[in-house]
Structure 1
Amino acid sequence: MLPIPPLMLTTGPVPAYPQVLAALGRPILYDYDPAFQSFYADVIEKLRLALRQGTAPVIMQGEAILGIEAAAAALIGRDDVVLNLVSGVYGKGFANWAARYGKEVVELAVPYDDIIDPQAVREALRQRPDITIVSLCHHDTPSGTLNPLNEIGAVVAEHGAFLIVDAVSSFGGMDVHPREAHVDIFITSPSKCLGSTPGLSLISVSERAWAKIEANPDAPRGSFLSLLGWKGASEPGKPFPVTPSIAEIYALDAALDLYAGEGAENVWARHAETAEITRNGLLELGLKLWPKKLEFCAPTTTAFKLPDGFSDTALRDRLRDEHGILLSLGRADTAGKLLRIGHMGASAKPDFARAAITALSQILSRPLGQTHP
């Protein structure tokens, strides 16, 4: 029997909405049933509207890391020079795929408590006019920082390069959309701010990116990594390249209905309010935020430095064991240096933020080594 989960204020997966969990229990249809194909086309249209994109998005059948790797494999050709913008763990990691498929990877990096300056991107492109692709992680959750995507996108568009963006933990929690930010491949996840389950990659591809992918002889075809295989998969009579994760599609459908029903602007406001309460509460406790400036903080994750005398695992475990609240540890370069409070989807509620701050206050008010009675 599974244990009763704590209040999950983690950075993903996050708690799924009850309506999403109920949708997982719908009867499984045959993927070639016209009824399912019509339903799938409706979900694609709901997703397109949520993304505010003109082209039909792609849904790949695997957690968002699949979509990120697939984007690299599809768009980056053997003659491409990639500028990889690094402000955190996930931004750094994209270089592995870029190097696998491209000619050269140029890195523009900042410390992991900082963000990418659009003018630094402009200068990097000026120095290397042969750069054809730029890659960016919008919100790097291991740091809790948020890069200025719209400004960076404008610079990249002016240069004429293609832009790949990991928006896994930002889309749905703030006002960010691929077309407005000049993004050519925009990858996100249903299991973060949309409050669904972590089995799909949601990908928006611009018209010019599709043209480049189709002209790239090395873009995967007949592969689980193939973006091309899913292009137009919602069109009547077109077969799916592999069996879609039908229950996950049901869950996504429910999540998109919730997003539209609450209203995107209201969802973003709820995330922003929860983040503000969290940050203010941490500062009132005398704790320090990980990002070097308040304006660098994301509205979907708050990362804070460990208080003196606490290890990351000790503080996390006390929060879980004594108060039933689970936070996330750091990752890679931020591991052992901070804890992260996620406020995405169903966990983006002001009362949950207040509960986390109250629990931290109680723990910090007791002498080290003294546990809750």
Structure 2
Amino acid sequence: MGVPSGQKGGWAGPDRRYLHTLGCYNILPCKGSPFWSGPSPRPKDQSDRGVWGGRASPAFSVPFFGRRGALYIDYKTRPRHPEAVACWKETPMSSLYPTLAPLPDPAEAPAAPSHWLLTPGPLTTTATVKRAMLHDWGSWDGDFRALTASLRRRLLEIAGVGEGYSVVPLQGSGTFALEAALLSLAQRNSRVLIIVNGAYGQRMVEISRRIGLGHAVLDLAETEAPSPDALAQRLAAAPDLTHVAVAQVETSTGLLNPVEALAQVTAAAGRKLLVDAVSAFGALWLDPARVPFETLIFSTNKCLEGVPGMGFVLTRIEALEEARACGPAPSLALDLADQWAYMERTGLFRFTPPTHVLAAFRQALDEYDAEGGRTARLARYRRNHDALVAGMGWAGLRPLLPEALRSPIIVTFLAPEDPAYHFTTFYEVMKRRGFIIYPGKMTEVESFRLGCIGAVDVPVMEDCARACEAAFKELGVALPD
């Protein structure tokens, strides 16, 4: 919604009313705006209400957008008897927001982004990945079906699994795919032990609680890795547990959980393993010969460096068949087994897929292969991590976790212990300097996070470290010696 030229903003959702006589919305000023004139007095009778409910206010115009221009509601008020007069103006949309920067020419993807996204996803993508989204696809078209099938095959190859597995794509983020996978466990009357040492483990607990999946929790500190011995004891004490669920990288801190050791304990106990590999798949490999998992969850926009919009569940075909035999899931859109069966039968998605996301993902996988696959991708991320930690160390800032627990995906840094430090202002200064960063997700320690993944390399990480040091100096934040 626009604001008249020369006026300040200040609209509020609760102040919306209907202009029934005009058939459109009237946006009322909120407290603190230049148009606020105090609370609306209760009208004496219906005839005294007017279109503003009795409120007196200065005259001004509000544009309502249309296809060819803007409908302006001109308010000419007198105490307790406001009137509204609508007039149509053939006004170019660009003139309503003269301060907005024009969109870039879609035919010319920039060589370098306007900001580096040092986040765990969405993340910085290459110009060629962006350019791959310029083509429109029909979701029922044979070419798009072939594209989808080829992506599913390539993901199985990246995972290194055999014929007993299938990849099921699901529209949405990695969390959508994670919830669909947990729903399939609920269909099978499973009971899962969830390892929690951060926000993403806790997310699995919350999903399980909401969908009615039987679960127990192995609760750990945010800086603590799970012990295989503790897992073995917990499984031995609870024979009703059928599955173990763990995040490969606990992205709230960057902690790398020892999934291989946990998988071997799980298999030895006769249980099955579900891994949230969203922040790891494509770089931190889980060798199926050494990590006997049932299910992996991942997405387009992490280590495979695509754009957001599609999650994937890689799981055993027998698990999908078992879930399907148990009947429909309690969610239509997130019914993993139904999505798989329909896709196997038709090659189509049940509901509209993000076609441009998958086109970009094909390009991202081409670039992944050209770089050298997971070995080269992981090596670059490790170089990024090492350069970032070294550069931040020169500024006196240290990581939260010891090196033995850190992943090369994202690093949590302890915030300066200075009253002048506020993440919001630090974020804005970093954004102005060309970097988008993440706040910390620690519950007890003030921190911030810097990602090492995406289409970035060592010079970007070094520039980020220098920008952090300069930002703190600009804000008057004292750094440790």
Calculate the TM-score normalised by the size of structure 1. 0.89
Residue 315 of structure 1 aligns with an amino acid whose one-letter code is F
- In 2, Cα distance between the equivalents of 1:253 and 1:234? 18
CA contact (8 A) 1:184 1:206 kept: yes
Q: 1:220 to 1:6 in 2, by over 3 A?
A: same
Cα distance in 2 for residues equivalent to 1:304 and 1:343: 13
| Structure 2 Cα separation of the partners of residues 115 and 58 of structure 1 | 30
Q: Deviations over 1:103-142 (max 9, x none)?
A: 6321111111222222211111111122111111111212
Change over 3 Å in CA distance of 1:2–1:96 after alignment to 2:
farther
Partner residue of 2:82? Answer: none
Whole-angstrom CA distance in 2 between matches of 1:243 and 1:277: 42
- CA contact under 8 A between 1:80 and 1:102: conserved in structure 2? no
Give the match for residue 190 of structure 2.
80
Amino acid at match of 1:253: R
- Where does residue 127 of structure 1 map in the other structure? 237
Equivalent residues in 2 for 1:247-262 (5 A)? 247-262=356-371
Higher Cα Rg: structure 1 or 2?
2
For 1:315 and 1:258, how far apart are their aligned partners in 2? 34
**Secondary structure at the residue paired with 1:188?**
strand
Instruction: Quote the Cα distance in structure 2 between the aligned partners of 1:315 and 1:93.
Output: 27
Q: Structure 1 counterpart of 2:423, which letter? A: D
Give the aligned residue type for 1:359: A
Change (3 A) 1:314 1:194: same
Give the TM-score taking structure 2 as reference length.
0.70
Identify the residue that residue 468 of structure 2 maps to in structure 1. 360
1:319-360 per-position Cα deviation (integer Å, ceiling 9, x unaligned) = 222x222211023736x711111111213x111111111122
CA distance in 2, matches of 1:139, 1:130: 27
Identity %: 26
The structure with the greater share of residues assigned to strand is 2
Instruction: Return the letter of the residue paired with 1:313.
Output: T
User: Partner amino acid for 2:285?
Assistant: D
Alignment partner of 2:143 out of 15, 20, 35: 35
- Relative to structure 1, the CA distance from residue 239 to residue 354 in structure 2 (aligned partners, 3 Å threshold; closer, same or farther) is closer
Residue 26 (1) aligns with residue 135 (2): yes
User: What is the DSSP-based 3-state SS (H/G/I as helix, E as strand, rest coil) of the residue aligned with 2:443?
Assistant: helix
Q: 1:318 aligns with which of 425, 429, 446?
A: 429
In 2: Cα distance, 1:148 partner to 1:312 partner: 31
Residue 346 of structure 1: aligned partner:
455
Three-state SS of the structure 2 residue aligned to 1:295 is: coil
Which moved further from structure 2: 209-218 or 78-87?
209-218
Q: How does 1:1-373 map to 2 (within 5 A)?
A: 1=100, 5-29=114-138, 31-54=139-162, 55-77=165-187, 79-102=189-212, 104-176=214-286, 180-217=290-327, 219-220=329-330, 223-231=332-340, 235=344, 237-264=346-373, 265-291=375-401, 293-309=402-418, 310-321=421-432, 323-331=433-441, 333=443, 337-347=446-456, 349-364=457-472, 368=476
The unaligned stretches of length 5 or more in structure 2 are 1-99, 103-112
- Higher share of residues assigned helix: 1
Query: How many pairs are equivalent?
Result: 364
Residue identity in the other structure for 1:34: G
Q: Per the alignment, do residues 367 and 325 of structure 1 end up closer, same or farther by CA in structure 2, a change over 3 Å counting?
A: closer
CA 1:359/1:230 → structure 2, altered by over 3 Å: closer, same or farther?
Answer: same
Structure number with the bigger relative contact order (C-alpha 8 A, sep ≥ 6) is 1
Distance 2:233 2:477 in 1: 51
The 8 Å contact of residues 56 and 232 in structure 1, kept in 2 or not, is answered as no
Q: After superposition, what is the alpha-carbon deviation per residue over 1:44-94, rounded to whole angstroms, capped at 9, x for unaligned?
A: 111221222222311111111110111111123474322110010010121
Distance 2:101 2:279 in 1: 27
Q: Aligned in 2, Cα 1:240/1:93: closer, same or farther, shift over 3 Å?
A: closer
Q: Partner letter of residue 316 of structure 1?
A: Y
Distance 2:184 2:220 in 1: 27
User: Residue deviations 1:241-292, cap 9 Å, x none?
Assistant: 123221111111111111112112111100111112212222333222112x
C-alpha RMSD of matched pairs (Å): 2.4
Letter in 1 for 2:397: L
